[in-house]
Amino acid sequence: MRTLVNGVSTDQISVADRGFMYGDGVFRTLKAVQGRLASWSRHYDKLASDAARLGIPCPDVSVWEGDIRQLMQSEAELQDCVVKLTLTRGIGPRGYAVPAECTPTRVVQLSPLIPPDAALYADGCLVGVSNVVMGSQPQLAGIKHLNRLENVLARTAMAGTGFFDALMLDEHGWVIEGIQTNVLLEMRDGRWLTPDLQRCGVAGITRDLIMQNARAQGVEILVSKVSMTDIHAASHIWLTNSLIGALPVRTLVCDQRTYPYQVKSLPAGWLLEV
Q: How far apart are CA 265 and CA 186, in angstroms?
A: 12
pLDDT at residue number 161: 96
- What pLDDT score was predicted for residue 51? 98
Mean pLDDT of 114-135: 96
Phi, psi values for residue 26, rounded to 5°: -135, 165
| Proportion of the chain above pLDDT 70, given as a percent | 100
- Whether the CB-CB separation of 75 and 9 falls below 8 Å is answered with no
SS3 119: helix
pLDDT given at position 79: 81
Q: Residue 30 CB: number of other CB atoms within 10 A?
A: 24
pLDDT of residue 261: 98
Burial of 215 (C-beta count, 10 Å sphere; 0-12/13-18/19+)? exposed
pLDDT at residue 1 is higher than 90: no
> How large a percentage of the chain has pLDDT more than 90?
94
Q: Are the CB atoms for 223 and 252 separated by under 8 Å?
A: no
Q: Is 175 helix (H, G, I), strand (E, B) or coil?
A: strand
Angle, to 10 degrees, between the axis of helix 40-54 and the axis of helix 205-216? 120
**Secondary structure class of 212 (helix, strand, coil):** helix
- Indicate the pTM of the whole model: 0.95
User: Would you tell me which CATH number, out of the four given (3.10.100.10, 3.90.79.10, 3.20.10.10, 3.40.50.150), belongs to the domain 118-260?
Assistant: 3.20.10.10
Q: How far is CA 253 from CA 175, 227, 230, 232, in A?
A: 15, 15, 15, 10
Q: What is the pLDDT of residue 130?
A: 98
Mean pLDDT of the 222-228 span: 98
Q: Determine the Cα–Cα distance for residues 129 and 173; give it in Å rounded to an integer.
A: 11
Report the b/e string of 221-246 with b at 16+ CB within 10 A: beeebbebebbeebebbbbbbbbbbb
Please tell me the predicted confidence (pLDDT) of residue 77: 77
- 2-112 placed in CATH 3.40.50.150: no
Rg of the chain taking only CA atoms, in angstroms = 19
pLDDT, one tens digit per residue, over 72-110 is 998 777 789 999 999 999 999 999 999 988 899 999 999
Give dist(CA 140, CA 23) in Å, integer: 12
Condensed to tens digits (0 to 9), the pLDDT of residues 27-81 reads 999 999 998 999 999 999 999 999 999 999 999 999 999 999 999 998 777 789 9
The predicted-structure confidence for 171-201, as pLDDT tens digits, reads as follows: 999 999 999 999 999 999 999 999 999 999 9
> Closest Cα to residue 177, out of 217, 210, 150?
150
pLDDT at residue number 78: 77
- State mean pLDDT over 157-180: 97
What residue ranges of the chain are covered by domains with CATH 3.20.10.10?
A: 118-260
Task: Report how far apart, in Å, the C-alpha atoms of 177 and of each of 8, 129, 143, 154, 197 are.
Answer: 35, 10, 13, 12, 9
pLDDT averaged over every residue in the chain: 96
Residue 67: the pLDDT is 97
Q: Where are the alpha helices (DSSP H) in 31-104?
A: 40-54, 61-74
| CATH 3.30.470.10 domain extents, the chain | 2-112
